[in-house]
Structure 1
Amino acid sequence: MTTDSAISEHLRPRLQALTERMNLSASDLVADALENGRSLAWQERFVDTVVRGIEAADRGDFAGEDEIAAVLDKYRPAG
């Protein structure tokens, strides 16, 4: 099935920028939004977060053992 839709002028540049950053087509991004309820703003924040994480990893900025243990303890079931 092929569907055409009009994208508003103020969303078009954001969608184009996101397709370039994610190496996906506009159709892929729209399909993801429809299938998973992910807005354009959500997708933009997601990509920004991933990029910041990669940059931190490239700098060698990783969580230490104590930080990992604290997160695991926070979510570990009481026993």
Structure 2
Amino acid sequence: MSVTVHITPELEARVAAIAERTRLSPSEIIADALQNGHSLEWQERFVERVAAGIAAADAGEFAHDKDINAVLGKFRPA
């Protein structure tokens, strides 16, 4: 099925920016929004958080075993 939707230049630019950063097509970005309820704002925030996580990992910022065990211990039954 093929559908044509007219959107504002601003929305088109946002979709294009998300598509470029995620290596998805604009159609895939719009389909995700429709199928999963992921608004452009949600997708933009998601891409930013992933980029921040990758940057942190590239900088060697990982959780240490002691920190992970402390969190896991917090939620283990007594």
Determine if the TM-score, normalized by the shorter chain, exceeds 0.5: yes
CA contact (8 A) 2:19 2:25 kept: yes
Q: Which residue number in structure 2 is paired with residue 47 of structure 1?
A: 47
* Matched AA of 2:25: S
Residue 66 of structure 1 aligns to a residue whose secondary structure is helix
- Give the TM-score of the pair, scaled to structure 2: 0.87
Aligned length in residues: 78
Aligned to 2:72: 72
- Alpha carbon RMSD of aligned pairs, Å? 1.4
Stretches of structure 2 lacking an aligned partner (at least 5 in a row): none
CA contact under 8 A between 2:15 and 2:30: conserved in structure 1? Answer: no
Q: Residues 29-70 of structure 1, C-alpha deviation per residue, up to 9 Å, x if partnerless? A: 011111111000100111111111111111110011122123
| TM-score under structure 1 length normalisation | 0.86
